[in-house]
Amino acid sequence: MAGHSADPSSRVPNYRGIDSPMWLPPIRLPNLYMSDLAAAWPAGLPFVCLSQGGRFQIVPTHFREVTWSELAAVSVVKPSLDGEPMHHGYVGVISYDQYADDQTCWPNDAASMAKSRILSVDSALVYDRTESVLYVPRQTETRHPGDTWVDAGAVAERLTVQADPSEPHCPSLDLEATSPDGAYEAQVDRVISDIQAGRYYQLNLLRYFRFSKQLSRGDLLRRMDLCGGAMSCYFELPDLTLLSLSPERFITIRSGLRGAKIGAFPIKGTAPRHDGDLQADRRAASTLRDSAKDRAELAMIVDLMRNDLNQVCQPGTVQVRHHASLMAARGVHHLYSEIEGNLALPLSWGQLLGKLCPAGSITGAPKREVMQAIAQYEGRKRGYFMGHAFTLDQNGNFDSSVLIRTLVRHDHDYFEYAAGSGLVIGSDAVAERLEIAAKCRVATNSAKRENGSIYKSRSQGLEHGYQENL
């Protein structure tokens, strides 16, 4: 059932046996859940967690919020190869609107734009789920006004003496669409008419949903523990609560033989998985892999992202390493490709992200025209939906997600969710609506831990570890 390439996260270095003055001795903690770590966190303080390919969980313990302009001015460098996990650097969430506003018909209204949130990190806990090891940073108590500072050693100690670790469970959530099914299907038909008229080739159209159930930090992190994809993340900051269960990696920057190497990993094509029926599940995967419509949809985005990468890479270095590989994620199968190139330095992070954001997989082709059409059809700003979460470590390594499968709290009153699909000339409105429903179920079905398995979803009936590409 696997595609012909390995999970990109499998190429992350093995950090076992690390010995550095930046770290305390590592602690072995089998099956550490982020909801358990949050329970050991001081009450009332912000909490942030990001996954890196599902293997590593990064939890900043000393950080401060900084402006977007600070990150944008930092130079991209060739990452070093010293083999240490993230101790300090930057983490953040980039709004879809950060770069989309310049290319759409929206007025320049900063007050209505979801603000990208950037954190400068001085220390972080890192949990390696492959080795079941928690890396604890050595910290300085030097603080500045506005800093969040949490004693990482004390949190780790509380985890080691925890007598009864939780058995995670999350109940189902009932989403309510903000527009009727018929209205959505009519929009799909209008988009298809645009494509037939030659306005664009592919457009990613979102449906928006909401629910009013109040969920605590523990509730949200249990859902991340049980349902989170390889690139899941959680941000709880002043005026922002965001949970993303994303399986989609956006871009990475690593050290290469000829400088800084950038990789992009677009996802396109979706098929629901089958509850407890292995043969049906394999048939669904095979049908998706052989689907001419879905492969064409992915090929368009690969071509677009090759063009995006060519704007920031050395001439002749951009190539497609793998195309239309199968990703077996929780609840759904996807197709994905991998594109890479050698960065043409010098570049600032503002320049680099300005050429690549938002991702082609959640906009369409050609990107500029499609982003204008998205604003027209959706009639609102996307905010954090379809934006990006990222880590930039002290060695210059960069990892980022696309914020799909994402819940955002509004004014402590309700949560909003968005899901979309790529519309092409061969799309069918009802089939696209059902695809979106499958993507909603991934984030909203009940799930629990059973018989020692880290992940088991009642509705899916299939067990999964952290690895997304099987």
* Residues 67, 87: Cα–Cα separation, whole Å: 21
Whether residue 46 contacts residue 111, with contact meaning beta carbons closer than 8 Å, is answered with no
Rounded to whole angstroms, how far apart are CA atoms 119 and 116?
A: 10
Q: Give 192's Cβ-side CA count (13 Å radius).
A: 14
Distances (CA, A) of 344 to 256, 307, 321, 358, 391: 13, 14, 19, 20, 21
CB 232, CB 224: distance < 8 Å? yes
Maximum CA pair distance of the chain? Answer: 65
Tokens of 131: 């080795």
For residue 268, indicate whether it is catalytic.
yes
Torsion of CA 349, 353, 354, 358, to 10 degrees: -160
Strands, E assignment, 53-98: 56-66, 89-94
Active site residue 131: no
Choose, from 268, 367, 381, 439, the residue flagged as catalytic: 268
Inter-CA distances, 327 with 12, 229, 284, 319, Å: 18, 11, 12, 20
Kindly name the residue from 78, 84, 236, 248 that is annotated as catalytic: 248
Of 178, 281, 219, 284, the residue nearest 446 (C-alpha): 219
Q: Which sequence positions are flagged as catalytic? A: 248, 268
